[in-house]
Structure 1
Amino acid sequence: MEEQRKKKQRKKRLVIGVAAVLLLSGYLYWQDNDLMQTEYTCNSPDVPAEFDGYRIVQVSDLHNKWCGKDQKRLIKAIREEQPDIIVLTGDIMDGNHPKVEPAARFCELAVKIAPVYFVPGNHEAMVKTEYRRALYDRMHACGVIFMIDRSVELTREEAAITLTGLESIRKADYFALKQISDAQTDFVVLLEHNPTDAKVFLQSDADLTLTGHTHGGQFRLPLIGGLYAPDQGILPEYDGGAFYDAGHMLIINRGVGNSGFPFRVGNRPEIVTVTLHRMEGGETT
């Protein structure tokens, strides 16, 4: 009898253990793959009336990830947002395990939805030249617009706003501030991968800055936020979401993929949609 009782206990523990592993695996899979669509509105008196309702979809930190066969889930999510432009804020390729196809194929499909603008991240910089060239060649071929230390004007009817892209504000402080200050339009959108120097962005002349890099702190806890971000370390101040200062708005995209840590906790992947809204008077909010 005692032996049978012990057998039942062992079997029960085994069943509970297997169930716990399955539940944990399912949770981590959901956390890694259930794509969120996060919406923000950028209210500013500097938004031209013609750009009221203008929609910008931001994708960041893809890191070689496949979102369904042929990027079907990611493309579907972007198409549903009906963007006027799509911006990619770096690390679409993973430098630790470089692959061309996931990012290249995504770009080839995304440009069919809306014009695509790209700034590179640290992972594009760290890969071998052959991988970077192979990816960039395909991106150029399908019409992705590279925004490496340059500005363009986006027009709608008779109005325009400025879009500026930076490869790295750490090496281009002067360029960044000069390009933004020299903008011929009232409203400026800045694209940059790394938000570590967030205070520079929030004190610049950019009305809206879009960044990524942090992966949302990888593991997020209620009331605490992200636990770790590259370049910021433990309990980063700028981990993800929207930040405001003196009429400037900074958005840190939590990204789509992973690098280093193979999973996320409390921090599902996201794409971000920002809708521009003209308001009368006041500061950007």
Structure 2
Amino acid sequence: MLRWIIFLIIFGILDLYAFQAFKTVTKNGLLYTIYWIITALVIGNFVFHYFGFSRRDGFSHAHAYAFGFFLAILIPKMILLIGMFAEDVFRVPQAAYRYFTEGESAKGNYFASRRQFISKLALGVAAIPFASILYGIYKGKYNYKVLKYTMYFEDLPKAFDGYKLTQISDIHSGSFDNIDKVKYAVNLINEQQSDVILFTGDIVNNKTDELIPYVDVFNKLKAKDGLYSVLGNHDYGDYVTWETEEAKHQNLEHLKTLQKDIGFDLLLNESRYLEKDGERIALIGVENWGVGGFKKAGDLKKASSKINKDDFKILLSHDPSHWEREVIKDDYHYHLTLSGHTHGMQFGIEIPGWFKWSPVKWRYKYWAGIYKEMGQYINVNRGFGYLAFPGRVGIWPEITVIELKKGTSIA
């Protein structure tokens, strides 16, 4: 209870400060009333859902929208606070000067009036994240982008020159609220006509039941050389409370069965060979392995035990921290690793080919797109679905298409 009282006090101070900007540009009492009603409803809804959160039930759509709308007002008001505080950097010293120089002749009106220009500027700037977050909730989370790359490898088997693979990651089926949009994305994946489809983990948020309504959607995925997948940290059911360990175990076994029903060959620290015209490349899949408290079930040595060191290798590993900490240092030389996990934080600024930024970069060194270290590559997929925040702002859901070419890049 104490934490919520502290939360309400802090947000109350923030809101009263931000309201100064709103009050400066209008004297309409009705608008004041609307402002406070919306604020009370959003905060009340947030407190209601999070005060009663249960790990047994997990994170629901209602929790997600409560969080999303809370962010939609919190971030703009923080911007207003910064704008108003910046003005007070000048107003407070001026007020102190008047207090000591004018005394009672100022009749207590020591503070200069807030300048309307500053308030309008702050409101204009704050409107940008407000509109962006609302767009991200209603449109951005299904704004699927197909990102295409051509990657050159001198030791790629000749038969695989021009071989295309599609990677998707972080489906998080429990978050979806529009099955038609998901069907559209599945059709978009099939339109790429890749030779193989590779899924790099987190097909659910917490429980396998979340996937059931979408099995008949995802089983429409088609690729000539099949579909392969690995587990992500959310697939193990670690983030909800189970009545028994057996119930948790059965949940995971059910998830494995549903993945098979979809058509995925789930690689649990295992490998397969993709063969073409008498040549082959190795496909290796590890269970989740991540730093920062995430499950470390991945066993790279076990997964690669049946392949040759000189094989051309594609590794599926959900968390890019695995690539950083173990994969690139391994003697086996994994030519291409495919990961996800970060979602690009579902928030950022990106100009393809020029600039990309997200706060998640402070947590993950490799957080979106292709990186190269020690002659090896990783692609970190931005994710197909979304989690917690029910939207995406600037970092859109991704379908990655990679064409493998033999030789050296001319770029």
TM beyond 0.5:
yes
Q: Secondary structure in 2 aligned to 1:179?
A: coil
For normalisation by structure 2, the TM-score amounts to 0.58
Name the counterpart of 1:120: 231
Name the counterpart of 2:308: 183
Name the counterpart of 1:195: 320
- How far did 1:136 drift? 2.2
Q: How does 1:73-222 map to 2 (within 5 A)?
A: 73-95=184-206, 99-111=210-222, 115-126=226-237, 128-169=248-289, 170-173=296-299, 175=301, 178-179=304-305, 182-183=307-308, 186-199=311-324, 200-204=326-330, 205-221=333-349
Deviating 4+ runs (over 6 angstroms): 20-23
Cα distance in 2 between the residues matched to 1:87 and 1:116: 6
Q: Which protein, 1 or 2, shows the higher relative CO under an 8 Å CA cutoff with sep ≥ 6?
A: 1
- How far did 1:26 drift? 2.9
Change (3 A) 1:126 1:251: same
Name the counterpart of 1:25: 134
Cα distance in 2 between the residues matched to 1:58 and 1:47: 19
- How far did 1:90 drift? 0.4
More strand by share: 1
Cα distance in 2 between the residues matched to 1:210 and 1:176: 18
Cα distance in 1 between the residues matched to 2:132 and 2:341: 29
Name the counterpart of 1:259: 387
Query: Structure 2 stretches of 5 or more lacking a match?
Result: 1-25, 36-122, 239-247, 290-295
Cα distance in 1 between the residues matched to 2:252 and 2:208: 12
- How far did 1:70 drift? 7.8
Cα distance in 2 between the residues matched to 1:177 and 1:226: 32
Cα distance in 2 between the residues matched to 1:71 and 1:265: 18
Q: What's the % identity of the aligned pairs?
A: 27
Instruction: Indicate if the aligned counterparts of 1:202 and 1:244 stay in contact, CA closer than 8 A.
Output: no
Cα distance in 2 between the residues matched to 1:142 and 1:224: 34
Name the counterpart of 2:104: none
Q: Which amino acid aligns with 2:285?
A: G
Q: Which of 1 and 2 has greater Rg?
A: 2
Name the counterpart of 1:236: 364
Change (3 A) 1:54 1:113: closer
More helix by share: 2
Instruction: Indicate if the aligned counterparts of 2:383 and 2:398 stay in contact, CA closer than 8 A.
Output: yes
- How far did 1:111 drift? 4.0
Query: Structure 1 stretches of 5 or more lacking a match?
Result: none
CA root-mean-square deviation: 3.3
Cα distance in 1 between the residues matched to 2:226 and 2:300: 28
Q: Secondary structure in 1 aligned to 2:148?
A: strand
- How far did 1:103 drift? 4.8
Name the counterpart of 1:269: 397
